[in-house]
Amino acid sequence: MELPEPEVEHLLHDVLSEFHGRHQRLLPFLLERFDAVRHHLLTDKPLSESRRLLIGSYFTQEYALESAALFNPSLVWHPDQSGLPPGTRRFILSLRAVGEGHISSVGFRCGTIDVGGAITLAKPTGFVTAPHVVATSVYDKTLFQRKLAELGVCDPFVDLVRDVLADHFTLGDLEAALAKTGRQHRGRRREWEPVAAAILALARANYEIECPPESDISERVIFPYSPAETNGIEDARFVRFTDDDGCVHYFATYTAFDGAVTLPQFVETDDFVHFRIGTLNGPEIANKGMALFPRQIRGCYWMLSRQDGENIYVMQSDMLHFWYAKQVVLRPTQPWEFVQVGNCGSPLETPAGWLVLTHGVGPMRKYAIGAVLLDLDDPTRVIGRLPLPLLAPDENERVGYVPNVVYSCGAAIHNGLLVIPYSMSDYATSFATVPLADVLDNFVC
């Protein structure tokens, strides 16, 4: 603030000369950064745009989302299939991107698979655009209170806050209600502060983000935002979900990590521009590896899970966000999976049954990918299992951040081929294809 205006102009010129070509929409972003810190100004003196931009630059830093690793892919068919040759399909690949500080986020790529199974990835632009958190996200009061109860946040203070809120409210409304209730009951402030913090943490774990619609898919990112995500977002398992009426949505489960506790989270989108992110609830929501089936079965939602870190479970529920019961369907059986078995993404529907790719952990913490077949009408019934791994790390895939690992978060079936995107030792991503008939022919009942 003490710099003379000519020096401000000179310093800003240096910043823009060095960094303008490395970013898109840099000037608007720097002004946003200034607006985020302007309340620290000591006076209301008007500032030139150059000074505001320069201040914004001092509160901005570059972050390389993928500088450490890009792995654990999940493949779904793109909502836009226009302009393609016959037999070719466009896909979106979600990836776990790891950058400075080992912070994980979800990045994206786009590509096509032609009639012969050849895979072409679109070249990423090299830019990234931070999404905007939608400040007007609306919460349903009844559902919100139910989620609080599921988390064990039951206190008279919750009821007092609830009475202040409308049936639908925003985060700002909630913050105002907490402040008002706190003022009215100052004598119990210390007692209720942890409750208020828990209420706000739940609200911030349920939010919406928007990416610029004109941005390339490779420029979009789901970056940690809520308190539960401070150490990263891991292993998104996307699925193209079809309602009974034929409407299509894209859902994903991922693991939020705050440095101590893992928390399964849920993502909803129809266009990969606007994302709704929220908590999964119920006593059976624990650990990692949740993966939703791509449609309802007998009027219920179904999901794979791995609550105990060792076995694969199947859950069913009549509510997408609440899960109360589980049933073990698969235990480690073969030597290559004696340590643990888990899923590699959402099940794939075939005429023979639900094809579930699995990961097994064996000697020397070696990860391999296998497969099982579940009954179409009763996914708790295993009707086939591969006795040997479908995919295991070769010598070119052994070395990486976590050695001896091949892993996937979601495959697809195209023109009779099983298409498996997979990570190599937690640092990079590749693809494998195999005729689906060959897989089905090798199942052992």
pLDDT digits (tens, 9 = 90+) for 325-376: 999 999 999 999 999 999 999 999 999 999 999 999 999 999 999 999 999 9
In a domain, 14, yes or no: yes
Quick one: pLDDT at residue 314?
97
Q: Residue 338 pairs with which residues in a beta bridge?
A: none
In a domain, 390, yes or no: yes
| Predicted TM-score of the model (pTM) | 0.92
> For the domain that residue 387 is a member of, what is the CATH number?
2.115.10.20
Q: How many domains does the chain have?
A: 3
**3-class secondary-structure state, position 273:** coil
In a domain, 63, yes or no: no
Co-location of 411 and 273 in the same domain = yes
Is the CB of residue 340 less than 8 Å from the CB of residue 322?
Answer: no
Quick one: pLDDT at residue 190?
85
Co-location of 336 and 403 in the same domain = yes
Domain boundary among 204, 224, 249: 204
Element (H, E) at 172: helix 171-184
Quick one: pLDDT at residue 264?
87
Co-location of 156 and 232 in the same domain = no
Co-location of 43 and 101 in the same domain = no
Quick one: pLDDT at residue 373?
98
Structure tokens at 190: 């210390």
Co-location of 317 and 417 in the same domain = yes
Co-location of 330 and 395 in the same domain = yes
Full residue range of the structural domain in which residue 168 is found: 139-204
The whole-angstrom separation of Cα 104 and Cα 230 is: 10
In a domain, 64, yes or no: no
Domain boundary among 204, 226, 252: 204
Sole residue written with tokens 């060959």: 438
Quick one: pLDDT at residue 137?
80
- Give 144's contacts (C-beta < 8 A, 6+ positions apart): 202, 203, 206
Residues of the chain with pLDDT under 70: none
Quick one: pLDDT at residue 187?
85
The whole-angstrom separation of Cα 168 and Cα 16 is: 44
Co-location of 153 and 281 in the same domain = no
Q: Residue 366 pairs with which residues in a beta bridge?
A: none
Co-location of 150 and 221 in the same domain = no
Quick one: pLDDT at residue 282?
87
- Give 3's contacts (C-beta < 8 A, 6+ positions apart): 11, 51
In a domain, 190, yes or no: yes
Co-location of 78 and 26 in the same domain = no
Co-location of 270 and 307 in the same domain = yes
Structure tokens at 443: 């199942």
Co-location of 196 and 317 in the same domain = no
Domain boundary among 150, 177, 204: 204
Co-location of 226 and 266 in the same domain = yes
Q: Could you read off the pLDDT of 244-266 as tens digits, one per residue?
A: 999 999 999 999 988 887 888 99
Neighbours of 331 (CB within 10 A): 11
In a domain, 166, yes or no: yes
